[in-house]
Structure 1
Amino acid sequence: MFSLKRKLSPALKDSLKNNFYNRYRVLIEYKSIKNEIEKKIKFSNGEILFSIEEIQCIAANINTTTLLRLIELPEVKYILLDEYAFLCGRTPLLSNGVSLQSNNSILKGDYSLSGRNIGIGLVDSGCYPHKDIIYPNNKIKCFIDLINDYKYPYDDNGHGTFISGVLCGSGHESKNKNRGIAINSHLLVVKAFDSSGKGYVSSTLMAIQKIIEFSEDYNVKVICLPFEIYNTSNDILSLYSKIFKIALQKNIIIIVPSGNNGNEEDSIRGIATLKEVITIGGMDTRFGNNIYPFSSCGSSKSSSKPDFIAASVDIISLNTDTNYISERNGLKIYPKKLSKPYTEYSGTSIACAYISGVCALLYEYNSELNFKDIYGLLKSSSSFIKEKKCMQGNGYIDLNKILPKKDGK
């Protein structure tokens, strides 16, 4: 039994030793065949939450007896606790120094890019059917609810709707003023966070798998993950790393926030530290260009993260009716008109959304770009502010420099 317990993560071992819980929400990594594992879970009145086949992992609620029996199965590779994940106002364009051109374009010169036909995968608290999202055309091409299993879009927290507005809001309710960065891109939204803004590692992994699964159907090129986890354990991070690598193989880029742990050195945590993602810190542009006080920072010893920064303080985007539920008894319910269509919010998740939208513009320019290409274009157009590199990475993006002028002009 001692050798079998090597299959348990240290945190799970401690929980069992101290008899903390009657039941455990866990992630079970398996070698190749999951049938016997699922049978044992169901036979012992356990609950299978998700089967994340891309990385050979099962999320389940099980009791102590079942847990100890599972590690006896040769197909079980490793079991760890399913940790929590958390969702981490001027217009996003103005805050990032962007003004609309006469042709209604974001970029100066001969480019007229708006993210047309580019899909963005969003893992968040959902998306309210705001008029800026559904007019002049519905940008929510696919909605998947991992929390309540509703068919129609809603958002009982508000975070996902706000982020959607930064990504691709049309500005319909503000006569084009409060628009997003890639207004003609579209969304594949997976609700993995509840009304309090809390989710689990398992639900976010499942959400990413769903986006990858439907990526070809909706031409998803960018995955925006505006959440953070505080865990630095390789047990957890290796699962994210695996699924991120699968996305990269399909030429899908992943954008994450640096987190909101404060701008002290070494405050960055979780998935924001992984090399498979582009990590975005926050910038306060209200009075000059300064680091957002809550933006997590890397280390001066290894200045690889964050990769870039973008505006994240007092940003205006879409408001939500958090009491709206999109269906009852299987029938769709239509939302009422919002008395206040916009609101303000601060956080590095906004900076993450802005850069996700910028990447959608780049993919419209050239759909064959890969991770290195995108990173190179962002880096070549970035500028430092007067702060430490561990706070800003390569600095902020100047969209006027991001693409070469046509015909050498």
Structure 2
Amino acid sequence: MLGAGWRRVAVVLAAVVGFAGAPLVGSPASAHPAGAAAVVDSRVTGATTANVDVIVQKDSASDHGPEAAIEHLGGTVTRDLSIVDGFAATIPTSATGELSSLDGIRAVTLDEKMQPTGLLGGSGGGNSQAALKSVAPQEMQADDMWRAGYTGQGVTVAVIDTGIANVPDLAGRIVPVKNDLNLLQAPQPCLNLSGEPDCTDNYGHGTFVAGLIAGNGASSNGAWKGIAPSANVLSVKVAGRDGSADVSNVLAAIQWVVSFKDRYGIKVVNLSLGTDSTQSYTVDPLNFAVEKAWDSGITVVVAASNRGPDAQTISKPGDDPLVITVGAVDDMGTPGLGDDELPDFSSHGPTAADGLAKPDVVAPGAHIVSLRAPGSDVDVQFPTYVDGAYRKGSGTSFSTGEVSGAVALLNQANPSWTPDRIKFALMATAHNVASTDAMAVGAGIVDVNSARTATAGLANQGVARSNGLGSLDLSRGSVLVTLNDPMGTLVNGTLTAQNLLWNPLVYTLGLWNPITWYTTDAAGSRWYGSRWYGSRWYGEVDGSRWYGSRWYGQATGSRWYGSRWYGSAWYGAWE
């Protein structure tokens, strides 16, 4: 669990980020006081070669003294690694004894250039290397739905994320959006609430998620398909290249989706994000918003988060009893369920504030292959690709995308079904997998084809709704932030979701008026004073900075899922 002293922005998109380098030290328990001696990996000082490749983490990203110090020792800086506030270097082994005394350096670790365990190639990881195409559609019985004629045709899934790249696997199915606040503007490939000037996915997360929902495998002869390969996706961009996002942006995004759902045929909304807030769902504004979407007929699918394996680590709004909250399993690269494992990162229930059983279901979320966003931050930081157009990742973000695809299939097959009936059917027909702990896997892994013909029933009967009267600041979680939204307005920290407007006409005419929002200078719309960084995030514990980038895996140590930090993720790991 996150401590009260942590300083971080509230919304994280369900991802744990990893790269092919050495395990980097750093966790809340190993905070590094300024001026303390650097922690030096014993494999560095014990190297037997003339030179040794290392990764250096700095106390301050803006301090270039460590680079100069390494060069003074005869080393060469080979690559900037701003993702961990550090750099890669090659240094003479004879100079490694001096590393611990260098100013401004937090840690020095061996750069092993290790090959991640993944679906294609890599060392370790057992059967996961065997997969030559996605096995999630088989594990979830989506391939049976395809054979029955259901591919998501005519269903729109709203993806509230970092944007969606216009790539061949989604060609013609990214829904253009009319800007009702600027009628002279031509339709755009997203609703842009990010503060960036266009709809480009500069971070890379949203495109990856969209591929798992609706990719048709056009760039791989059908090998890497999403669960609903004919569905449409509508991009609601709430974050830019640095991953900046806030609860206020997500609220505005959900509000827009509800207001314009009929115009665009939106039946599903994917939220691969969350906060560590422990405010009760019964009063929380973000919970109120997702419930508003649910009650309007939109099935809301939310990531459980990547803070497992501890209990009470479900993020908000995945803690809401109405929505479908999704955890992850590792399919081991095979279509059978018998060898599936429970990855440590997948969060466990019950919910912290209200003690509710979560997650509801699970889906494959480890070493998953999906679409790249060419030129995005993730694409540049982790340039390891699969079949050119794809990459690998792990996290509950990606399980969530798959379940959103499954919901799209059910909407096509049974267009009259309500969100409550869809949730009931998915949970009633799920299969136990990887664990018998319902707080880890919920009802089990989704079997969408069985759900299609499930006995009628409704979830969420008698469940109390949120009144939305709680604090927006508390909804953000462990840090209170004052961020300017993209429209140049400052969100009042005590704003409640009940102040939001939920129909197209009122949204268009009144969303940004002073009655609802406190107006400020539009020049602050990029949130420079308090933004957080999706790939270069750091936190503070008791005033000491730390860089959460430690590697972790299963208890056996045989598998890993990326480098873990809570503030910069969108609940997925890049490989």
| TM-score (ref. length: structure 2) | 0.50
Q: Find the counterpart in structure 2 of residue 370 from structure 1.
A: 418
Q: Whole-Å Cα distance in 1 between the matches of residues 283 and 168 of structure 2?
A: 37
1:393 aligned partner, one-letter code: G
What do residues 114-133 of structure 1 show as CA deviations (whole Å, max 9, x unaligned)? 11111101110111111111
Residues 286, 238 of structure 1: alpha-carbon distance in 2 compared, 3 angstrom cutoff? same
Q: Find the counterpart in structure 2 of residue 123 from structure 1.
A: 160
Q: Whole-Å Cα distance in 1 between the matches of residues 315 and 214 of structure 2?
A: 28
Once the two structures are TM-superposed, the CA of residue 359 in structure 1 deviates from its matched residue by: 0.3
Q: Whole-Å Cα distance in 1 between the matches of residues 244 and 405 of structure 2?
A: 24
2:174 aligned partner, one-letter code: K
| SS of equivalent to 1:309 | strand
Alignment of 1:182-221 (within 5 A): 182-221=228-267
Q: Find the counterpart in structure 2 of residue 84 from structure 1.
A: 10
Q: Whole-Å Cα distance in 1 between the matches of residues 316 and 278 of structure 2?
A: 5
8 Å CA contact 1:284–1:290 kept in 2: the answer is yes
8 Å CA contact 2:311–2:349 kept in 1: the answer is yes
Q: 1:246 aligns with which of 281, 292, 295?
A: 292
Q: Find the counterpart in structure 2 of residue 314 from structure 1.
A: 367
Once the two structures are TM-superposed, the CA of residue 145 in structure 1 deviates from its matched residue by: 1.3
Q: 1:359 aligns with which of 401, 407, 416?
A: 407
Unaligned runs of 5+ in 1: 1-10, 12-19, 21-81, 325-337
Once the two structures are TM-superposed, the CA of residue 236 in structure 1 deviates from its matched residue by: 10
Greater RCO structure (CA 8 Å; 6+ sep) = 2
Once the two structures are TM-superposed, the CA of residue 86 in structure 1 deviates from its matched residue by: 1.1
Q: Whole-Å Cα distance in 2 between the matches of residues 404 and 234 of structure 1?
A: 35
Residues 141, 117 of structure 1: alpha-carbon distance in 2 compared, 3 angstrom cutoff? farther
2:420 aligned partner, one-letter code: K
Once the two structures are TM-superposed, the CA of residue 260 in structure 1 deviates from its matched residue by: 0.4
Once the two structures are TM-superposed, the CA of residue 218 in structure 1 deviates from its matched residue by: 1.0
Q: Whole-Å Cα distance in 2 between the matches of residues 247 and 199 of structure 1?
A: 20
Q: Whole-Å Cα distance in 1 between the matches of residues 449 and 317 of structure 2?
A: 30
Once the two structures are TM-superposed, the CA of residue 93 in structure 1 deviates from its matched residue by: 4.6
Q: Find the counterpart in structure 1 of residue 191 from structure 2.
A: 144
Residues 85, 127 of structure 1: alpha-carbon distance in 2 compared, 3 angstrom cutoff? same
Query: Greater strand share, 1 or 2?
Result: 1
Cα RMSD (Å) = 3.0
Q: Find the counterpart in structure 1 of residue 451 from structure 2.
A: 402
Q: Whole-Å Cα distance in 1 between the matches of residues 445 and 250 of structure 2?
A: 28
Q: Whole-Å Cα distance in 2 between the matches of residues 348 and 374 of structure 1?
A: 20
Once the two structures are TM-superposed, the CA of residue 377 in structure 1 deviates from its matched residue by: 1.2
Once the two structures are TM-superposed, the CA of residue 339 in structure 1 deviates from its matched residue by: 8.8
Q: Does 1:346 align with 2:394?
A: yes
Q: Find the counterpart in structure 2 of residue 163 from structure 1.
A: 209
Q: 1:295 aligns with which of 330, 334, 346?
A: 346
| SS of equivalent to 2:302 | strand
Q: Find the counterpart in structure 1 of residue 310 from structure 2.
A: 264
| SS of equivalent to 2:344 | coil
Alignment of 1:223-234 (within 5 A): 223-234=269-280
What do residues 10-51 of structure 1 show as CA deviations (whole Å, max 9, x unaligned)? x9xxxxxxxx9xxxxxxxxxxxxxxxxxxxxxxxxxxxxxxx
Q: Find the counterpart in structure 2 of residue 273 from structure 1.
A: 319
8 Å CA contact 1:133–1:140 kept in 2: the answer is no
Identity %: 25
| SS of equivalent to 1:207 | helix
1:97 aligned partner, one-letter code: Q
Alignment of 1:64-83 (within 5 A): none
| SS of equivalent to 2:245 | strand
Once the two structures are TM-superposed, the CA of residue 255 in structure 1 deviates from its matched residue by: 0.4
8 Å CA contact 2:212–2:225 kept in 1: the answer is yes
| SS of equivalent to 1:290 | coil
Q: Find the counterpart in structure 2 of residue 76 from structure 1.
A: none
Alignment of 1:167-182 (within 5 A): 167-182=213-228
Q: Whole-Å Cα distance in 1 between the matches of residues 325 and 271 of structure 2?
A: 10
Q: Does 1:95 align with 2:136?
A: yes
Q: 1:389 aligns with which of 438, 443, 452?
A: 438
| SS of equivalent to 1:189 | strand
Residues 129, 237 of structure 1: alpha-carbon distance in 2 compared, 3 angstrom cutoff? farther
8 Å CA contact 1:139–1:187 kept in 2: the answer is yes
How many pairs are equivalent?
Answer: 307
Residues 213, 93 of structure 1: alpha-carbon distance in 2 compared, 3 angstrom cutoff? farther
Q: Whole-Å Cα distance in 1 between the matches of residues 297 and 145 of structure 2?
A: 27
Query: Greater helix share, 1 or 2?
Result: 1
8 Å CA contact 2:350–2:356 kept in 1: the answer is yes
Q: Find the counterpart in structure 2 of residue 330 from structure 1.
A: none
Q: Whole-Å Cα distance in 2 between the matches of residues 191 and 216 of structure 1?
A: 19
What do residues 335-386 of structure 1 show as CA deviations (whole Å, max 9, x unaligned)? xxx9921100000010111000000000101222112210121022211123
1:177 aligned partner, one-letter code: A
Q: Find the counterpart in structure 2 of residue 52 from structure 1.
A: none
Residues 168, 118 of structure 1: alpha-carbon distance in 2 compared, 3 angstrom cutoff? same
What do residues 45-101 of structure 1 show as CA deviations (whole Å, max 9, x unaligned)? xxxxxxxxxxxxxxxxxxxxxxxxxxxxxxxxxxxxx9521111648850353499x
Once the two structures are TM-superposed, the CA of residue 213 in structure 1 deviates from its matched residue by: 1.9
What do residues 161-214 of structure 1 show as CA deviations (whole Å, max 9, x unaligned)? 000100101111101111111111111111112223231000111111111122
| SS of equivalent to 1:289 | coil
Q: Whole-Å Cα distance in 2 between the matches of residues 242 and 303 of structure 1?
A: 16
What do residues 213-244 of structure 1 show as CA deviations (whole Å, max 9, x unaligned)? 22111110000000111111249962122222
8 Å CA contact 1:229–1:270 kept in 2: the answer is yes
8 Å CA contact 2:349–2:440 kept in 1: the answer is yes
2:363 aligned partner, one-letter code: A
| SS of equivalent to 1:353 | helix
8 Å CA contact 1:106–1:112 kept in 2: the answer is no
| TM-score (ref. length: structure 1) | 0.69
Once the two structures are TM-superposed, the CA of residue 146 in structure 1 deviates from its matched residue by: 1.1
Kindly name which structure, 1 or 2, has the bigger radius of gyration based on alpha carbons: 2
Unaligned runs of 5+ in 2: 15-117, 120-130, 178-189, 334-338, 378-385, 455-575
Q: Whole-Å Cα distance in 2 between the matches of residues 206 and 379 of structure 1?
A: 30
Once the two structures are TM-superposed, the CA of residue 399 in structure 1 deviates from its matched residue by: 3.2
